[in-house]
């Protein structure tokens, strides 16, 4: 799995999460602006959390177990991201900072 699409909870395209290869427990990932993002989504709370400043590469953990992939990392503003992709290449993402949480849908368009 090298690319995951993140959407808002309402299903609006937000970002693509690119993951380095080869598959290993420690990888690098980076957010890329989704080509179908709207200015409203980019300026939304989710957009400001996913794209806080400039594109930054983050060290992330990647664990695949029982057909589910789990990716976790923190961005430069301290938001902790967790992405889960299940057997059907669909899943969810969430980011939290203290008591503040945002979440949405996720899928891997190219599978494993």
* Domain at 101, CATH number: 2.40.128
pLDDT at residue 111 above 70? Answer: no
Residue 10 domain-assigned (yes or no): yes
Phi, psi torsion values for 60, nearest 5 degrees: -135, 150
Q: Minimal CA–CA distance to 58: which of 84, 31, 34?
A: 31
For the cut 80, the answer to whether the pLDDT of residue 23 exceeds it is: no
Residue 25 · residue 62 · CB < 8 Å:
yes
Number of domains in the chain: 1
Q: Residue 81 domain-assigned?
A: yes
pTM: 0.90
Please check whether residue 112 lies inside any domain of the structure.
no
- With a pLDDT cut of 90, the percent of the chain lying above it is 73
Q: Does residue 78 belong to any structural domain of this protein?
A: yes
pLDDT, average across residues 37-50: 94
Evaluate whether residue 19 is within a structural domain: yes
Residue 42 within any structural domain of the chain: yes
Strands 57-65 and 68-74: antiparallel
Residue in the block written with tokens 């690098």: 28
Report the C-alpha gap between 68 and 13 in whole angstroms.
Answer: 22
Residue 38: inside a domain, yes or no? yes
Mean pLDDT along residues 61-68: 88
- Contact yes or no for 15/51 (Cβ under 8 A): yes
Range(s) of the domain holding residue 74 = 3-107
Which pLDDT value is given to residue 32? Answer: 93
Query: According to the model, what pLDDT value does residue 1 have?
Result: 58
Quickly state the pLDDT bin for 25 (edges 50, 70, 90). confident
């Amino acid at each position: 799995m090298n690319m995951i699409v993140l959407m808002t909870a309402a299903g609006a395209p937000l970002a693509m999460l690119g993951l380095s290869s080869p598959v290993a427990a420690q990888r690098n990932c980076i957010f890329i602006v989704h080509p179908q993002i709207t200015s409203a989504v980019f300026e939304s709370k989710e957009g400001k959390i996913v794209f806080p400043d400039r594109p930054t590469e983050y060290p992330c953990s990647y664990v695949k177990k029982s057909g589910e992939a789990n990716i976790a990392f923190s961005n430069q503003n301290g938001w902790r991201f967790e992405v889960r992709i299940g057997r059907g290449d669909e899943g969810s993402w969430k980011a939290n900072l203290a008591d503040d949480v945002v979440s949405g849908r996720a899928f891997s368009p190219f599978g494993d």
